[in-house]
Amino acid sequence: MNFKKQFMEGLLTKNPVTVQLLGMCSTLAITTSLFNGIGMGLAVTVITICSNILISALRKVIPNQIRIAAYIVIIAGFVTIVDLLLKAFIPALSESLGVFIPLIVVNCMVLGRAEAFASKNGVLASAVDGLCQGIGYTVALVIVCVIRELLGSGTFGGGLLGPGGAGIRIIPEQFPAMQIVMPVGGFLVLGFVIAGNQWLMKRMSSKPKKKERAK
């Protein structure tokens, strides 16, 4: 197990949102405030870690013919637990995210990690993979949320900061572009974030070549 490699894959080189383009439905739908992004990111991270651990522990017991169905049942169980906990302890977040919490059951990121990693590796490595992929997913959501909220609403920290959770006003009310918080704005912002991620990866990959030439 290489924690540094798994962390960099989840955060940058194999980020579930900006590289693998997984979980696009929730990414585009709920990324209108920082509160939503952090809440959804943490929920998906917890579910991914728990489902990875259980699937890895049962990988030699689950018949290959029904593995996908078994994975979905396991994921659905953890999604139900998280959904009920949010309704009980953070009802504002549960109401804000709405149907997108139950839809984590069919989130391609969670099922993809179960099939690609947890079903082939040990419990500890699978738990670390779930954590790293969840961190990458959360970071991507937060970046999209901050950009869309700032440009579309003119605020920062919606749902968490400011009077009544309205966010801290950064841009005067008459200037924000409301289209940014609409679906078309989600596509535009996500496109720029993906482009930024690709630029950063190319820049990082070119550094070793420059060092070799310098030697």
- Residue-level pLDDT, tens digit, the chain, 215 residues: 788 889 999 999 999 999 999 888 888 889 999 999 999 999 999 999 999 999 999 999 999 999 999 999 999 999 999 999 999 999 999 999 999 999 999 888 999 999 999 999 999 999 999 999 999 999 999 999 999 999 999 999 988 888 888 889 998 888 888 889 888 899 999 999 999 999 999 988 886 665 556 55
In the chain, which ranges are E strands?
Answer: 155-156, 168-169
The b-or-e profile of 115-143 (16+ CB within 10 A means b, else e) is eebbbebeeebbbbbbbbbbbbbbbbbbb
pTM: 0.91
Predicted confidence at residue 143, as pLDDT, reads 95
Predicted confidence at residue 212, as pLDDT, reads 58
